Structure 1
Amino acid sequence: MKKIFLLLLFVMTGLSSAQINNIKSGEKLVYRVHYGPLNAGYATLTATNTTYKGQPTLFVKGEGRTSRTVGFFFKVKDLYESFINIKTGLPSYYIRNVKEGNYTQHLETVFNHDNNTLILSDKKNNTPPKMIKTVSGVQDMLSAFYYLRSLNNKNLNIGSVIKINVWIDDNLFPFQLRVVGKDVKSTKFGKIECLRIIPRVMSGRVFKDKEGVTMWVTNDANHIPIEVKAELAVGSLKADIDDYQNIMFPINFK
């Protein structure tokens, strides 16, 4: 399930910090995940307004689970959480707590954007926290998703190349994406005009090649991912919007 969060989250990135003002508290997005012909499971994203250390904050949660059929053979229960400063769009605190078959991981990250450092804690192995030097404007996997959605359409012109640094697990990765066109996509809710985006991703470990992923996001103020397709190192993966609630702006499905 980590792969689908990589697809939905880090490819939706931007250039620098920006205020998040287009996400309604209580928003919920649900995606149906297919691995080849199989209904592999679901990925759910929720957002709630709160405060963190006295600052207005968007608390976002990403949860992944396998379907009953796939879970019989390989059970996944993934939890991602991020506290994002609404004024800057930058993460303050990030959690990744996952169970994938026999594999488990529980990492917590506290960001200090004033001096470009973070403190990483491995809760599973109970090792001493580590201070790590990062770069300006670093995002985590969840905050990157909501940051891009805060951008204006003028930042997403066809031909635009967008770059960002994303903290994933215990490493910093540079990514970029290209806005390559517009398409009308069919969904269970109707048809909708979308921007077609191709991210440049890590080939070899997860994906088949560096540009083997395509994503379609609504061409409106919401910038909600509608569909994602990816060729993986083994097999293929697809995610489609399955449900949405409490969206800030109307989605004009036809």
Structure 2
Amino acid sequence: MKTFQRISWIAVIFLSLYCIPGTAGNNCVTHNFVFKGGEKISYSAVYNWGFIWLNAGLVTFTVDSTGWNKKAAFHLKAVGVTHKGYDKLFMVRDTFESYVDTKTLTPFEFRRSTKEGSYEASEHYLYNSRTRIIDATISREGGLPERSKIEWPECSFDLVSMVYQARNIDFSKYKYNDKIPIVMIVDGEVFNLYIRYLGKEEIKTREGRRFRCLKFTPLLVEGTIFNAGEDMTVWLTDDNARIPIIVEAKILIGSVKAMFIGAEGLRHPMSAEIIDK
């Protein structure tokens, strides 16, 4: 758990960005209907304190159609990078990748490369769907790689495959204040998390764009990667595109936010955007 006490604000945004209705229990997605190969979504990572707004970095999510061990696969990739001006304060170069089945989104392989200030870490998972075992190789702070075998619970995913699984959930069956469980594999451990659904809300971006959204708040669970007292909120488009528009994570002084910049190669239009005529 010490690894995640040192995680940067960009990584926190990445984690909270898709800690939305997950895939535990009977919620496990069996068919992808939301995205396709060629999709790219970009976010500005922003620090906010009162009237102070600092554009600190860029986070991008991409989907490429490819193959994995003679199987049709999506290559899912998320990259977080601080701007050069912010690098002097705290440089971040984070890359998360997952190869998943194109139909069920079951993960085949996961890779993570993290450089945050002076801290470096890497992870590599190979999933065995027959034995339900993950072969994990993890290196922290320049140390030698450590290999281990992790039991792979049903409907559990790494950070990246969880992102795209969650976008395929049927949100219509949830009511205001519902608690929804998710199971994620992070840093070689399995975490049972859950979030609270807070209904629908219209929001406006800093650029003045308005969207009809679904609202969620990750709840604190003892032993998870979230520290006590943190408050995160996610606004997701209420349409078939299922695009997070704003993610806010309150910190000791101010907050950090992921602000939607743009998207291309979408399978469905962002019909939740409100355009004045």
TM-score by length of structure 2 reads 0.83
Amino acid at match of 1:209: G
Mapped to 1, the partners of 2:71 and 2:176 lie a distance apart of: 35
Mapped to 2, the partners of 1:189 and 1:113 lie a distance apart of: 46
Mapped to 1, the partners of 2:138 and 2:225 lie a distance apart of: 22
Cα 1:102–1:88, aligned 2, differ >3 Å: closer, same or farther? Answer: same
Q: Which residue of 1 aligns with 2:145?
A: 127
Q: Report SS of the residue matched to 1:145.
A: helix
Percent identical across equivalent pairs? 25
CA displacement, residues 106-126 of structure 1 (integer Å, 9 cap, x when unaligned) = 110111233321111135544
Give the one of 84, 99, 102 matched to 2:115.
99
1:118 aligns with 2:126: no
Kept in 2, the 8 Å contact 1:10–1:141? The answer is no
CA displacement, residues 86-106 of structure 1 (integer Å, 9 cap, x when unaligned) = 222221111110111110011
Cα 1:52–1:235, aligned 2, differ >3 Å: closer, same or farther? Answer: same
Q: CA deviation at 1:190?
A: 2.1
Q: Which residue of 2 aligns with 1:29?
A: 41
Kept in 2, the 8 Å contact 1:222–1:249? The answer is yes
| 1:47-86 aligned within 5 A | 47-86=63-102
Mapped to 2, the partners of 1:201 and 1:11 lie a distance apart of: 13
Q: Which residue of 1 aligns with 2:5?
A: none
Kept in 2, the 8 Å contact 1:229–1:237? The answer is yes
Q: Which residue of 2 aligns with 1:142?
A: 160
CA displacement, residues 45-76 of structure 1 (integer Å, 9 cap, x when unaligned) = 00111121222211110000112221122211
Q: CA deviation at 1:134?
A: 3.1
RMSD: 2.2
Gaps of 5+ in 2: 1-9
- Farther off after superposition, 148-157 or 41-50: 148-157
Q: CA deviation at 1:160?
A: 3.7
1:191 aligns with 2:203: no
Mapped to 2, the partners of 1:205 and 1:154 lie a distance apart of: 28
Q: Report SS of the residue matched to 1:7.
A: helix
- Farther off after superposition, 14-23 or 153-162: 153-162
Mapped to 1, the partners of 2:61 and 2:114 lie a distance apart of: 15
Mapped to 1, the partners of 2:34 and 2:102 lie a distance apart of: 10
Cα 1:239–1:128, aligned 2, differ >3 Å: closer, same or farther? Answer: closer
Kept in 2, the 8 Å contact 1:32–1:43? The answer is yes
| 1:4-43 aligned within 5 A | 4-11=13-20, 13-14=22-23, 15-36=27-48, 37-43=53-59
Mapped to 2, the partners of 1:189 and 1:80 lie a distance apart of: 31
Mapped to 2, the partners of 1:242 and 1:192 lie a distance apart of: 13
Q: Report SS of the residue matched to 2:18.
A: helix
Amino acid at match of 1:46: T
Give the one of 219, 229, 237 matched to 1:209.
229
Amino acid at match of 1:109: Y
Mapped to 2, the partners of 1:189 and 1:18 lie a distance apart of: 37
Q: CA deviation at 1:84?
A: 1.4
